């Protein structure tokens, strides 16, 4: 399986090409000031910054994709002793007629008393379905077209220094679902939730977080433990529980080199629709695998990354690099956890320093697996 996901954006080489066009700049003087502010980061470090740029991408399941991305970063009360808050937005449309709107955020109030961490997503987007379990075939068995709504939010209060506790909520709705078998001549066993589902999970989370810049952590730790119960107020076809832990450690090896490590686990029990099983793969953990390449009730995963931020090339100090490796396994129950079911991925990437004063990079990662490769372009590190 080969996954290609390449995004081209204005901040970078495209910006430089635009700056070389006098016709464009003479007609769009404000664009010149905008791009100059991005490339040279002329703003006060405490001042909020907003970035808007077009995207162009290609992947086998979407064909060509066009859209816009936004990034808004700020310090509460413009006080740089507060942690850097960020809001990411992304909207897209593909030649296959798919579309979507995403918002991700990590917000800190003054003195970091409150931490709001979550994402909101709506999309009409295909899901490649490979089956359930660690023995799922390498070729997908069906393409699932559906409308998806996902709202996940954490509202956490700082109870001790760097320790947050509070409410977690996860709402997911899958509607207008159609399974299109990869081989129409073969019968397909439909999974639980194939006709669609709507599920609300509520619970509590405990988070330790002493990171100052969530988009590029040079020193610190993040650890979350959360327990959510889905549909606790009604007896539906999908009553289940989800226990999650996520621990990340960042240590500087030198002034420009960072070692990052993540250990992740998700454990579920009950009647779980296929789209809410623990999904392996994606742009953050197990890069190189399609999101949902493997799925099951439980997952264990870990990854390491070595970041060189920046690399002194003589003519510029705005480029960096990274190398990474990860391993993961999905399994239905603990007695099915097997040493020969672990899968791996690894790769390397380039970095470009987008906002020098706020130490924010864009990343271009190329990941490899035993089944193929994937290319990813995003703002901020993978974890």
Q: Strand 49-59 and strand 63-75: pairing?
A: antiparallel
CATH number for the domain harbouring residue 285: 2.40.160.50
Domain assignment present for 5: no
For residue 3, tell me if it sits in a domain. no
Q: Please report the pLDDT score of residue 59 as a whole number.
A: 58
**C-beta atoms surrounding 92 within 10 Å:** 21
Parent domain of 274: 10-379
In a domain, 299, yes or no: yes
What average pLDDT score do residues 248-267 get?
97
At residue 26, the pLDDT reads: 53
pLDDT of 185 reads 86
Which pLDDT tens digit goes with each residue over 150-202? 999 999 999 999 999 999 999 999 999 999 999 988 889 999 999 999 999 99
Query: How far is it, in rounded angstroms, from Cα 63 to Cα 43?
Result: 38
Q: Is there a contact between 224 and 117 (Cβ–Cβ < 8 Å)? A: no
DSSP-assigned states of every residue in 290-316:
PTTSEEESEEEEEEEEEEEEEE--SS-
Pairing of strands 142-160, 114-129: antiparallel
Whether residue 1 is contained in a domain is answered as no
Beta-carbon contacts of 133 under 8 Å, excluding residues fewer than 6 positions away, are: 294, 296, 330, 331, 332
Per-residue pLDDT tens for 285-311? 999 999 999 999 999 999 999 999 999
Give which of 147, 136, 129 is closest to 183, Cα–Cα: 129
* Residue 26: strand, helix, or coil: helix
* 211 within some domain: yes
The SS3 assignment for 264 reads strand
Identify the band that residue 14 occupies on the pLDDT scale cut at 50, 70 and 90: very low
Overall domain count for the chain? 1
What rounded mean pLDDT belongs to the chain? Answer: 88
pLDDT in tens, 131-142: 999 999 999 999
Whole-prediction pTM:
0.85
The H or E element spanning position 15 is: helix 15-19
Residue 126 maps to a domain? yes
| Domain assignment of residue 159, yes or no | yes
Q: What is the mean pLDDT of residues 210-224?
A: 95
Portion of the chain with pLDDT greater than 70, in percent: 87
Is residue 4 assigned to a domain? no
The answer to whether residues 365 and 383 touch, using CB atoms and an 8 Å cutoff, is no
């Amino acid at each position: 399986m080969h996954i290609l996901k390449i995004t081209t954006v204005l901040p970078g080489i495209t910006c430089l090409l635009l700056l070389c066009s006098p016709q464009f700049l003479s007609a769009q003087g404000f664009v010149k000031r905008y791009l100059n502010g991005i490339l040279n980061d002329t703003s006060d470090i405490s001042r909020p910054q907003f970035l808007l740029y077009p995207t162009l991408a290609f992947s086998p399941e979407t064909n060509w994709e066009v859209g816009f991305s936004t990034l808004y970063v700020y310090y509460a009360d413009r006080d740089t002793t507060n942690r850097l808050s960020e809001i990411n937005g992304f909207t897209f449309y593909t030649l296959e007629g798919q579309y979507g709107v995403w918002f991700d955020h990590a917000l800190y109030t003054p003195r970091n008393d409150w931490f709001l961490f979550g994402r909101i997503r709506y999309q009409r987007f295909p899901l490649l379905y490979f089956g359930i379990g660690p023995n799922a075939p390498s070729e997908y068995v069906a393409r699932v077209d559906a409308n998806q709504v996902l709202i996940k939010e954490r509202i956490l209060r700082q109870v001790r220094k760097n320790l947050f506790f509070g409410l977690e909520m996860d709402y997911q709705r899958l509607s207008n679902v159609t399974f299109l078998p990869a081989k129409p001549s073969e019968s397909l066993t439909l999974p639980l939730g194939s006709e669609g589902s709507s599920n609300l999970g509520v619970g509590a989370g405990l988070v330790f977080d002493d990171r100052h810049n969530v988009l590029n952590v040079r020193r610190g730790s993040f650890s979350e433990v959360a327990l959510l119960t889905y549909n606790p107020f009604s007896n539906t076809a999908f009553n289940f529980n989800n226990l999650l832990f996520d621990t990340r450690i960042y240590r500087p090896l030198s002034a420009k080199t960072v070692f990052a490590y993540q250990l992740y686990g998700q454990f579920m029990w009950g009647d779980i629709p296929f789209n809410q099983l623990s999904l392996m793969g994606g742009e953050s953990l197990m890069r190189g695998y399609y999101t949902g390449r493997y799925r099951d009730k439980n997952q264990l995963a870990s990854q390491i990354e070595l970041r060189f931020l920046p690399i002194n090339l003589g003519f510029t100090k705005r480029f960096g690099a990274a190398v990474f490796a990860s391993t993961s396994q999905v399994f239905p129950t603990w007695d099915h956890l097997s040493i020969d079911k672990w899968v791996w991925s690894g790769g390397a990437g380039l970095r470009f320093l987008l906002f020098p004063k706020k130490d924010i990079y864009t990343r271009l990662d190329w990941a490899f697996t035993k089944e193929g490769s994937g290319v990813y372009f995003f703002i901020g590190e993978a974890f």
